[in-house]
Structure 1
Amino acid sequence: MKTDDILQSMSIAGDSTSRPRLLVVDDQPINIRALHQVFSEDHEVFMAMNGKDAVAFCERTPPDLVLLDIVMPGTSGLEVCRELKANPFTADIPVIFVTAQDNPEEESACWDAGAVDFITKPINPQTTRNRVRAHLTLKRQADVLRCLAWIDGLTSIPNKRQFDERMQQELRRCQRESIHLAVAVIDIDYFKAFNDTYGHLSGDDCLKNVAQVIHRCMQRAGDIAARTGGEEFTCILPGLDPGGAREIAERIQQAVSALDISHAHGIGNKVTVSVGVGSVVPDLEVSAESLIEKADQMLYAAKHAGRARVCVG
């Protein structure tokens, strides 16, 4: 995918069919209603009335921007902001403080916590709209750059950089929720022989086709397939036990075989893949590296057993 294609797709995703998502955090319903009136026509507006709910919402479905009160019972707005900025999954969400306090110490505390701006109460609707619009524009531009940095240039699916970040996010979530996390490592069988026989241009076409097939097999919201090596792809499959992960792996294997790409040195004279799967309910002792290593061991077992198969551990 070319840079212009990615920029165009980001533009389409960000136009009027996809309204910006704002989270308003305030313990006073009257303040929430005031901000809802300002933004509800052009934005999706969500609300949280305490810091704990705000953090949970951002971790579950990150909004495009947070409008955050400072003084709240329990967890203060400053603590919420610090917690969001400390989590890589939520660190890039712009936070604008909405405060009735107007003093230098309060301003410094807002900046130190990681805010991008602050607005004083009672709010001026025009000023509030303009500031939010400006920060949403900056975030959208940053998202475009992040997309460019996270996409594999040849296959147009996530690259290893995005995989590594998502892997850490999903590992923490599965540890917190005590649910399975599965990883599938996929390798194209005898790919070096394919390149040697048909040339690197045909090899690139093969990689593109296999990548898109694997990507289409990621049908649940949390699933991700990435190109993590030359002819290696890795999938993150949250919430799947060994049996469920095997089903996805076998679906990938069958879909690649169905491409029917000729390979004179391949299994059945066509391109096939071997898949190794690791699945655990991770405790705090489990690392991303250890789970990937488990899947790698299963991939080695699949190759040792004759390739074009799935092994699960």
Structure 2
Amino acid sequence: MLESTELQANGQRPKLLIVDDQQINIRILHELFRDEFEIFMTLDSSSVVAKAKELAPHLVLLDIEMPGINGYQVCQLLKADPGTADIPVIFITAHFSEADEVRGFEVGAVDFIHKPINKVITQARVRNHINAKLQADRLRQIALVDGLTGVANRRKLDQELQQAWGHCTREQVPLSLFMIDVDCFKHFNDTYGHQAGDGCLQAIAATLRKTLRRSYDIVARYGGEEFACILPNTDAAGALLLARRIRERVRELAIEHQASKVAEVVTVSVGAVTVIPTPDANSDELLMQADKMLYEAKVQGRDRVCCRELNSRARVI
């Protein structure tokens, strides 16, 4: 059986996508792996990239000889698309020539399974590559998570903002961004100690995650005591509502802050901007404008929201 992994511990089985125009081969592979993996199948090579983007499988078993576009071409398409480039591909082939294998590795395959299928060899190769994929995904996730708060880190924020910008540009829907600063945080650390400061940041990060409930909203630690939130498909009115709710929820934590110049509890200032992105602009401008709104909120006395729909006047609340 497959070695224990965090993915399995969470009650989810790894996903395996089988691509073959011969149903008998699909049945053999399905029978071989149905107890270990969540199996998806297709006879149509032209649908593989779309299915892979939809399903995000941990491995693709891909027949080389198929009508329409062959396995080599499919693999090249998978590797050329950022959304599927990291998915390992094992070719299934009846050919044993060295030239065929060289070509397969050149287009991005990680291994070969030869027909007729040997069950022991096939199981070993598939398990090894899925375990390697799970480990790589775990390491990638760790690299993109802030170690203290458990939310996304700055690198992940930059990646997600680019993706959200591209999506909202294509769909012509609004994109909102928050910059959030913990008020007088240096004084908090000086008064209560850095361990208490860490706990404060953790509590605020948890509050942000609970407040932004949609799966595609992103909460990230921007640096120090600053957080950022990416809100795709959120207009200015919705952004204002959420920003005010965040400010209120942080106050409701009632974390004592006797050294604050604002209140006797920890508070936050929020800079919020909303835009419908266009191809001739970029997400750097959104970050810059959100930072300006945050600065304005702090100038106005902290513990408040300063919001702006780009190309309109700012509002401080």
Q: Who is 2:100 aligned against?
A: 106
Q: Which amino acid aligns with 1:287?
A: N
SS at match of 1:228: strand
Unaligned runs of at least 5 residues, structure 1 = 1-9
Identical residues among aligned pairs (%): 48
Which of 241, 262, 269 aligns to 1:267? It is 262
Question: In the TM superposition, what is the alpha-carbon distance from 1:203 to its structure 2 partner?
Answer: 1.8
Partner Cα distance (1:77, 1:171) in 2: 33
Which of 260, 274, 283 aligns to 2:278? It is 283
Question: In the TM superposition, what is the alpha-carbon distance from 1:74 to its structure 2 partner?
Answer: 4.7
Partner Cα distance (1:139, 1:78) in 2: 21
SS at match of 1:107: helix
Seen in structure 2, the aligned counterparts of structure 1 residues 111 and 227 have a Cα distance that, compared at 3 Å, is: same
1:208 aligned onto 2:202: yes
Question: In the TM superposition, what is the alpha-carbon distance from 1:67 to its structure 2 partner?
Answer: 1.5
Question: In the TM superposition, what is the alpha-carbon distance from 1:299 to its structure 2 partner?
Answer: 2.0
Query: Which region of structure 1 is more displaced relative to structure 2, 63-72 or 254-263?
Result: 63-72
SS at match of 1:267: coil
Question: In the TM superposition, what is the alpha-carbon distance from 1:28 to its structure 2 partner?
Answer: 4.2
CA root-mean-square deviation: 2.6
Partner Cα distance (1:272, 1:16) in 2: 35
Task: Give matches, 1:234-273, under 5 Å.
Answer: 234-264=228-258, 265-273=260-268
Partner Cα distance (1:86, 1:54) in 2: 13
Q: Who is 2:109 aligned against?
A: 115
Seen in structure 2, the aligned counterparts of structure 1 residues 220 and 20 have a Cα distance that, compared at 3 Å, is: same
Seen in structure 2, the aligned counterparts of structure 1 residues 51 and 240 have a Cα distance that, compared at 3 Å, is: farther
Which of 129, 144, 148 aligns to 1:135? It is 129
SS at match of 1:119: strand
Q: Who is 1:306 aligned against?
A: 301
Q: Who is 1:65 aligned against?
A: 59
Tell me if the contact between 2:19 and 2:42 (Cα under 8 Å) persists in the aligned partners. yes
Partner Cα distance (2:174, 2:71) in 1: 33
Partner Cα distance (1:11, 1:256) in 2: 36
1:25 aligned onto 2:19: yes
1:186 aligned onto 2:186: no
Question: In the TM superposition, what is the alpha-carbon distance from 1:16 to its structure 2 partner?
Answer: 7.7
Question: In the TM superposition, what is the alpha-carbon distance from 1:246 to its structure 2 partner?
Answer: 3.0
Seen in structure 2, the aligned counterparts of structure 1 residues 178 and 26 have a Cα distance that, compared at 3 Å, is: farther
Q: Who is 1:13 aligned against?
A: 7
Question: In the TM superposition, what is the alpha-carbon distance from 1:38 to its structure 2 partner?
Answer: 2.1
TM (normalized to structure 1)?
Answer: 0.85
Tell me if the contact between 1:70 and 1:76 (Cα under 8 Å) persists in the aligned partners. yes
Partner Cα distance (1:76, 1:285) in 2: 37
